[in-house]
Structure 1
Amino acid sequence: MNEIELRVVEALLNKPELADSTFINYEWFEDIRLRNIVEAIQKLEVQERTLFNIYSEMVNDGSIEYKHLVDLQGQFVTDANFDNDVKSLHKMYAQRNLELSMDVYKQSPRKQELANLSEAISELSKIDEEDDNGELDGAIEELQERLATNQPAGIKSFKRLDDLLAGGLYGSMLFTIGARPAVGKTAYAVNLAYQIMMNDPEVQVDFFTLEMNKREMLNRFISRSANVDSQKLKNPSNSLDIAFSSMVTNGIDWVRSHKLRIYDRILNLGGILSVIRKNASKAKPNKYVAIIDYIGLVKVNNRQDRWLQVGQITRELKIIANEFNVPVIALSQLNRESEKRKELLLSDLRESGSIEQDSNVVAFLYRPDEENKSIVRLSVKKNREGQLGDIDYYFDGKYMFFKEGSETI
């Protein structure tokens, strides 16, 4: 067994509270037995992390005996170097991941593999950056600057949504919007992007579409901006109407005059993060938003259960939102149980509770009255820095059009 991996596990078995004070990913452990011990520890509440409970969590695994846990606990000497050991552990994992990405790229030098390789290099380089010393000077200076210059609290979209979000979309926000199929979540994301760019043409919007191609998404933006029938855009040459052609041309001009980028070939988490990192790092404060449509289609390069993969996706999206102080909007489908109830719950988010845990804001998009397809409600169910509440929209799918209606808080 690797000595560093052993020391970390020995410390966790003796001082289980360390698992909460220091971020550790059990995937970093190369030894499957030690990885399973750490995963079991992280599943338990701190007061429940006895050797017996840890063993019970992993007893079906069969990779380790209870006596081995006792031996590991007894080998503990000190946790004085625990933080350094965890950092070294992370670095070794990142180096292995980099080597694997390099091998994959050599065998298949495609654009997606290059993006994964770039992400692996970035992860390794971040580990060597200066540690956060906890000082607040930078945050205080930023607040004082906002007070002195009357800077906006965030990126503006719909007015009533901005009010619920205490001023708009803000940096470090992971905003998850869950919806059942065919409610209009992609159309709503298009309208969010449209409102953002209408309020401030300098804002850059990266739109990752994993369900539709670039042409289909362009049609939706043109339909919204030019107020033309989206169905007619599927084959616009069939329409000889001069007025229609003029409106489409105006829509094209609108798209060209705004900083919208649409990606339809980047399906992997590493590629999405690479694009966000490249563009967000160059953007000015409050001038960048990323939209992912949708989480359930994002691919991850491992063979874990899907709920673990989704946990990695939301965790990485939240980390990059923090790192570059930008808002990230992620769409998500709801599980089938949600169809049995009119009232939606946070547990209805499909595939992983990490979506709820990692998101600053969680909202549901649904039709409060199935008989009236033109009314769609956005219900904010979690909001760390704002209010909970409902916003009703008038929705015309033909023109990809959302308009705010009444609101109840």
Structure 2
Amino acid sequence: MISEIEERIIANILHKPILLDSVDLPPSNFTNPFCKQVIEIALKLPAGERSLISIANENSIKLSEYEFATFYSKLNSLYARTISEGTFLNDIELLKQHRIKEKLLGNLATYHQYQTSANLDNLLTSIQNYQSFNDSDSGELTKTITQITQNVEEGATAGIKTNPKIEQRFKHFLVGSKLICIGARPGVGKTAFCLNLICSTLIHDPSVHIDFFSLEMNKNEILTRLMVMLSQVNSNVLTSGKALEDENISKRISQATDILKQSKLRVYDSVTSLEGILAKIRKNAKLCAKNKYLAFVDYIGLVSVNSKRSLERYLQLGKITRELKICTNSLNIPIIVTSQLNRGIEFRQEKEPQLSDLRESGSIEQDCNAVAFLYRDSNNPNLVNFAVKKNREGPLGRISFNFTGDTLTFV
């Protein structure tokens, strides 16, 4: 197939030599030796001199009389083809894609044989190049304008349904293209809050695909917590054999198990690099309909960045938030990340977190569409406030939740 594409490209250039000046077409992209040779010669000649005989003559010094005749005959054969200039640019893109994929496979084989840091960097670069090539953007606006008009006429979609209080207070909180950060000090309940959001989503719409990247807890711990929340059975009871002796408790556990089995939830506890997380999100999100995909990264401070040079942590976090934001835009999906807060908040009289309390990087504040904080009420330890301090697409404000530790539930 690739050889056929390469020959079509050459045929188009032979008919209209000026086409070669309108594209970036290095000879190294070609696998067919004859086509590669023709491109090398054609690039050396001005567009007005790229005739069949000129291309053949340019190469005649290296060829015998028989070889020259064969070379010229091949050129004539390609020139005689029925061509379509309309396929030219598409063929160029297919050829580039093939070249990028071949390089990726080559770097993969090299890394498989020699697992050095340099070979890993080359492999990751190839993966990013391949993913970037497939994330095309024509810049065309008609489809977007039509969608906006429909939203005005019919009412904009509320996005992914989750906690009803959050939806009511902060309109369209989980719609596409949003990077949302939830920050808190350790022990306040960042992970539990995110898992509560997941439970609400699973109950409202089991068809939503959810990817949860857990960098602190393993898969077993995450699923146990979800079982506790969905069944409302105390975790100590859930993990004891006595739970099945109570018919009511057993039924609730069974119902929670069914919800998880029928859900589109995936939990990753060994994908810790930015590149790995992005690869999973891109792969899974592309298969989902609009408002049917949601990703969580818990938490952003533990995400690693593969780099050819050592970067300070604040620069790494800048790269992480920037790449995640680009991902939300290109795939039109929401991503929720959690973040730690600086310890300085513990020594302040005013305990309500501010944007400046985000640990290590201002890029979180800069790149995220919305930033919210969880913090406990100083007068009531069971009361946890959810305060939205930045929201590009909606209001700021605060909601108070009662946190039930036995069932890890925010109500």
Both structures adopt the same fold (TM-score exceeding 0.5): yes
Give the residue type in structure 2 aligned to 1:313.
I
Could you say what secondary structure the match of 1:399 adopts? coil
User: Which residue of structure 1 lines up, in the alignment, with residue 386 of structure 2?
Assistant: 378
Query: Following the alignment from structure 1 to structure 2, what is the Cα–Cα distance between the partners of residues 116 and 200?
Result: 41
Q: From 345, 355, 364, give the equivalent of 2:354.
A: 345
User: Which residue of structure 1 lines up, in the alignment, with residue 94 of structure 2?
Assistant: none
The Cα of 1:104 is off from its aligned counterpart by 4.0
User: Which residue of structure 2 lines up, in the alignment, with residue 84 of structure 1?
Assistant: none
User: Which residue of structure 2 lines up, in the alignment, with residue 162 of structure 1?
Assistant: 167
Q: 1:333 and 2:340 equivalent? A: yes
User: Which residue of structure 1 lines up, in the alignment, with residue 364 of structure 2?
Assistant: 355
Give the residue type in structure 2 aligned to 1:340.
F
User: Which residue of structure 1 lines up, in the alignment, with residue 241 of structure 2?
Assistant: 237
The Cα of 1:175 is off from its aligned counterpart by 0.4
Structure 1 residues 362 and 257: alpha-carbon distance in aligned structure 2, compared to 1, 3 A threshold:
same
User: Which residue of structure 1 lines up, in the alignment, with residue 59 of structure 2?
Assistant: none
Query: Following the alignment from structure 2 to structure 1, what is the Cα–Cα distance between the partners of residues 122 and 398?
Result: 39
The Cα of 1:115 is off from its aligned counterpart by 12
Query: Following the alignment from structure 1 to structure 2, what is the Cα–Cα distance between the partners of residues 246 and 116?
Result: 52
- Contact kept, 8 Å, 2:202 with 2:259, in 1: the verdict is no
TM-score normalised by structure 1 residue count: 0.68
Give the residue type in structure 2 aligned to 1:378.
F
The Cα of 1:316 is off from its aligned counterpart by 0.9
Q: Give CA deviations for 1:280-328 in whole Å, capped at 9, x if unaligned.
A: 0000000110011100111111321111111111111111111110000
- Quick check: 383-392 or 155-164, which moved more? 155-164
Structure 1 residues 101 and 297: alpha-carbon distance in aligned structure 2, compared to 1, 3 A threshold:
farther
Task: Give matches, 1:284-323, under 5 Å.
Answer: 284-302=289-307, 303-323=310-330
Structure 1 residues 201 and 130: alpha-carbon distance in aligned structure 2, compared to 1, 3 A threshold:
closer
Q: 1:367 and 2:372 equivalent? A: no
User: Which residue of structure 2 lines up, in the alignment, with residue 123 of structure 1?
Assistant: 129
The Cα of 1:178 is off from its aligned counterpart by 0.2
Q: From 153, 162, 166, give the equivalent of 2:158.
A: 153
Query: Following the alignment from structure 1 to structure 2, what is the Cα–Cα distance between the partners of residues 115 and 215?
Result: 32
Task: Give matches, 1:94-113, under 5 Å.
Answer: 103-108=110-115
The Cα of 1:147 is off from its aligned counterpart by 4.6
- Contact kept, 8 Å, 2:107 with 2:122, in 1: the verdict is no
Q: Give CA deviations for 1:351-379 in whole Å, capped at 9, x if unaligned.
A: 1110110000000000022x522110001
Query: Following the alignment from structure 2 to structure 1, what is the Cα–Cα distance between the partners of residues 340 and 257?
Result: 30
The Cα of 1:245 is off from its aligned counterpart by 3.0
Structure 1 residues 353 and 125: alpha-carbon distance in aligned structure 2, compared to 1, 3 A threshold:
same
Q: 5+ unaligned residues in a row in structure 1: which ranges?
A: 1-93, 404-409
- Contact kept, 8 Å, 2:352 with 2:375, in 1: the verdict is no
- Contact kept, 8 Å, 2:339 with 2:358, in 1: the verdict is yes
User: Which residue of structure 2 lines up, in the alignment, with residue 253 of structure 1?
Assistant: 258
- Quick check: 160-169 or 377-386, which moved more? 160-169
Structure 1 residues 381 and 125: alpha-carbon distance in aligned structure 2, compared to 1, 3 A threshold:
closer
Structure 1 residues 103 and 372: alpha-carbon distance in aligned structure 2, compared to 1, 3 A threshold:
farther
- Quick check: 287-296 or 242-251, which moved more? 242-251
Task: Give matches, 1:262-273, under 5 Å.
Answer: 262-273=267-278
The Cα of 1:159 is off from its aligned counterpart by 2.1
User: Which residue of structure 2 lines up, in the alignment, with residue 184 of structure 1?
Assistant: 189
Could you say what secondary structure the match of 2:389 adopts? strand
The Cα of 1:130 is off from its aligned counterpart by 5.4
Q: From 184, 194, 199, give the equivalent of 1:194.
A: 199
Q: 5+ unaligned residues in a row in structure 2: which ranges?
A: 1-99
Structure 1 residues 343 and 166: alpha-carbon distance in aligned structure 2, compared to 1, 3 A threshold:
same
Query: Following the alignment from structure 1 to structure 2, what is the Cα–Cα distance between the partners of residues 273 and 130?
Result: 16
User: Which residue of structure 1 lines up, in the alignment, with residue 149 of structure 2?
Assistant: 144
Q: 1:207 and 2:216 equivalent? A: no
Give the residue type in structure 1 aligned to 2:132.
K
Could you say what secondary structure the match of 2:406 adopts? helix
Structure 1 residues 201 and 125: alpha-carbon distance in aligned structure 2, compared to 1, 3 A threshold:
closer
User: Which residue of structure 2 lines up, in the alignment, with residue 217 of structure 1?
Assistant: 222
Could you say what secondary structure the match of 2:235 adopts? coil
Structure 1 residues 150 and 311: alpha-carbon distance in aligned structure 2, compared to 1, 3 A threshold:
same
Structure 1 residues 299 and 391: alpha-carbon distance in aligned structure 2, compared to 1, 3 A threshold:
same
Q: Percentage identity across aligned positions?
A: 44
TM-score normalised by structure 2 residue count: 0.68
Query: Following the alignment from structure 1 to structure 2, what is the Cα–Cα distance between the partners of residues 261 and 138?
Result: 31
Give the residue type in structure 2 aligned to 1:226.
S
Query: Following the alignment from structure 1 to structure 2, what is the Cα–Cα distance between the partners of residues 298 and 129?
Result: 23
Give the residue type in structure 1 aligned to 2:240.
P
Choose 1 or 2 for highest CA Rg: 2
**Backbone CA RMSD of aligned residues:** 2.9
User: Which residue of structure 2 lines up, in the alignment, with residue 88 of structure 1?
Assistant: none
Query: Following the alignment from structure 2 to structure 1, what is the Cα–Cα distance between the partners of residues 191 and 319?
Result: 23
The Cα of 1:138 is off from its aligned counterpart by 2.4
